């Protein structure tokens, strides 16, 4: 397998050797097919594997088995393999295997917040509590491989999330020779929050990543967390290249969640290597179609201009990687092969037809024999019937970052929610109390007698106000109309359907 370094990929066309844009490692997402799909959209973005556990790799060293975890297409360079584990020797052995496969870099996962991960051998984000042990792991890995060994971590874990804690963690781990830290700019709660909640509830603190850049000028840092558009990535990187319409220095400070004028394109530290996008790239992959031009300054015309071109290029890959004739192919493998395309039509007419056709076709046994390329073709035909011009519409170019607007990722988070900094158990207890109190208030309201005007009630004199008809309003008088619901003041109101398609 041919190794192609980051410098080799980025040379020429005025591009940078820095990993300016990185596609984050995501379990059950950034597998081989997804990475190839990303490479169709960008020649230069740095791709990452899913986390590979050291034991899993070392117990499957036979070439055919090992390829399931480390196999990749040569066009995927620059590519990083992320390892998970806590045993220095095992991780060093696994790093050797990764290097033999030709990866450009190996990374240690010190940021995964899953309680399941934290309880098995103590790896992932829980390792941040043992900074000396992380230092020893990286030192062991560095002694065995020549490729860079990096660390992906968070700002802290549980109650250990102060600036001093993060500073001490980086300072200690750097003693191992680690030169690059990818920082997810929020803490993690190991108990009380799910991995998905840990991507959104703990508040982001971008300014602390800048502080680390200034505190450790000899180290390199990348920013992760809450980045969901290329316009936002451009602002975080100081608006590289020619500026887009509406781009200005104020957007740089806004992207970094800093006061106006405190951060500018000229004040960003040189050791800020890049930014990492995760769920945004999965949920809205077409935003990457002109990232080489907007982030790396590549002057070549993007090879992909429409969704049809992208899907046809990916279909060719599927025909080669997953050829027809496999009678044992499962629905799960078909889903994994086509999953990278599911975000292409998000929010557009034709999205429902595409997903429905994909799901229906892959469940048919004869189609599983023909392979995922056949299913993709059928789904494309369904889109053409639902929205004939969609596949051939030109993709929209990158636009300027709009602070406060979420453009397609699920990683966006609140920036100043102080409540989310408290332990989840306390927040849950308070939420339960609030919910109980609200339920009691609603119950009291339901017990109050309903007041309905009747003919026996006193009426204004006919001399001042015209008398009302003797027949009472059926809507007001009916305590529970067949197609209505009761509001808090005892009046029946028509029920309005609020469901969306």
Q: 């602002």: which residue's tokens?
A: 235
The token pair that represents 406 in the structure block: 């979420």
* Nearest alpha-carbon partner for 311 in 348, 345, 356, 352: 345
Q: In this structure, what DSSP letter does residue 269 have?
A: -
How does strand 46-53 pair with strand 492-494?
A: unpaired
> What length is written for the chain?
501
Q: 């740095």: which residue's tokens?
A: 46
Would you give the distance in Å from CA 138 to the centre of its chain? 27
Say which of 11, 66, 81, 112 is annotated catalytic.
Answer: 112
d(C-alpha 298, C-alpha 19), whole Å: 14
CB 178, CB 139: distance < 8 Å: no
Residue 492 φ then ψ, to 5°: -85, 130
Q: 């969609």: which residue's tokens?
A: 390
- Helix crossing, 372-386 with 331-338: angle to 10°? 60
- Helix crossing, 307-321 with 372-386: angle to 10°? 160
* Nearest alpha-carbon partner for 187 in 151, 224, 161: 161
Peptide bond into 78 cis (omega under 30): yes
* Nearest alpha-carbon partner for 86 in 48, 59, 112: 112
CB 181, CB 195: distance < 8 Å: no
- CA-based radius of gyration for the chain: 28
Ranges of H-type helices in 304-343:
307-321, 331-338
- Helix crossing, 351-362 with 372-386: angle to 10°? 150
112 in active site: yes
d(C-alpha 225, C-alpha 207), whole Å: 13
CB 279, CB 410: distance < 8 Å: yes
CB 334, CB 362: distance < 8 Å: yes
d(C-alpha 15, C-alpha 21), whole Å: 12
Catalytic residues: 112
């Amino acid at each position: 397998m041919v190794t192609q370094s980051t410098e080799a990929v980025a040379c020429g066309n005025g591009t940078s050797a820095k990993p300016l844009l990185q596609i984050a490692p995501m379990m059950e997402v950034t597998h081989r097919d997804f990475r190839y799909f990303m490479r169709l959209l960008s020649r230069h973005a740095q791709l990452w594997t899913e986390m590979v556990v050291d034991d899993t790799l070392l117990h499957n060293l036979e070439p055919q088995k090992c390829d399931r975890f480390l196999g990749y297409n040569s066009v995927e360079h620059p590519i990083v393999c992320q390892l998970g584990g806590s045993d220095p020797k095992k991780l060093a052995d696994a790093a050797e295997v990764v290097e033999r496969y030709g990866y450009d870099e190996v990374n240690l996962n010190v940021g995964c917040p899953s309680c399941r991960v934290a309880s098995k051998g103590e790896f992932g984000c829980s390792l941040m509590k043992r900074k000396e042990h992380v230092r020893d792991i990286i030192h062991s890995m560095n002694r065995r491989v020549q490729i860079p060994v990096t660390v992906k971590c968070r700002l802290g874990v549980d109650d250990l999330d102060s600036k001093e804690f993060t500073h001490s963690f980086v300072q200690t781990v750097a003693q191992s020779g680690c030169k690059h830290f990818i920082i997810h700019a929020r803490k993690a709660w190991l108990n009380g929050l799910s991995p998905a909640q840990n991507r959104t509830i703990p508040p982001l603190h971008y300014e602390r990543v800048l502080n680390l850049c200034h505190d450790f000028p000899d180290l390199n840092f990348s920013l992760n967390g809450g980045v969901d558009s290329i316009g936002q990535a451009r602002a975080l990187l100081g608006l590289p290249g020619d500026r887009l319409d509406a781009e200005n220095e104020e957007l740089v400070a806004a992207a970094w969640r800093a006061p106006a004028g405190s951060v500018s394109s000229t004040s960003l530290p040189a050791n800020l290597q890049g930014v990492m996008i995760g769920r945004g790239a999965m949920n809205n992959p077409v935003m990457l179609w002109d990232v080489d031009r907007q982030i790396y300054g590549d002057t070549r015309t993007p090879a992909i201009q429409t969704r049809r071109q992208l899907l046809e290029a990916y279909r060719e890959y599927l025909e080669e990687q997953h050829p027809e004739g496999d009678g044992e192919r499962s629905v799960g493998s078909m889903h994994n092969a086509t999953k990278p395309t599911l975000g292409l039509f998000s929010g557009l007419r034709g999205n429902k037809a595409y997903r429905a056709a994909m799901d229906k076709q892959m469940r048919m046994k004869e189609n599983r024999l023909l392979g995922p390329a056949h299913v993709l073709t059928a789904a494309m035909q369904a889109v053409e019937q639902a929205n004939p011009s969609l596949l051939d519409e030109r993709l929209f170019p990158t636009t300027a970052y709009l602070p406060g607007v979420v453009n397609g990722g699920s990683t966006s988070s609140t920036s100043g929610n102080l409540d989310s900094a408290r332990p989840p158990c306390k927040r849950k207890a308070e939420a339960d109390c609030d919910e109980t109190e609200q339920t009691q208030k609603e119950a009291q309201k339901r017990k109050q007698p309903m007041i309905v005007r009747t003919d026996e009630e006193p009426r204004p004199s006919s001399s001042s106000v015209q008398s009302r008809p003797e027949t009472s309003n059926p809507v007001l008088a009916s305590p529970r109309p067949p197609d209505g619901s009761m509001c808090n003041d005892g009046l029946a109101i028509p029920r309005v359907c609020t469901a969306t398609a």
